[in-house]
Amino acid sequence: MDNVFCGARAYVAFQVRVCPELKERLERRSTETGLSQRAIVADALRYYLRRSGSSGKPARNYAR
């Protein structure tokens, strides 16, 4: 796992498995917006964690 440095902060890299449809949608969004895939995923994760609240329970069970 690599660390990427951005300003004074270091980011930790890790792998996430997604279905081919999500990967294609991520690639398309990245191309359309000019944002990196990393930025899109990080924003989506921040949004999800804020929405799930302090209960720690996911808004939806994605585990299979």
Report whether pLDDT(20) > 50.
Answer: yes
pLDDT in tens, 4-19: 555 667 788 889 999 9
**What secondary structure, in 3-state letters, does 10-45 show?**
EEECCCCCCCHHHHHHHHHHHHHHCCCHHHHHHHHH
Cα dist. 41→5, 25, 52 in Å? 17, 11, 16
| Averaged pLDDT for residues 40-61 | 80
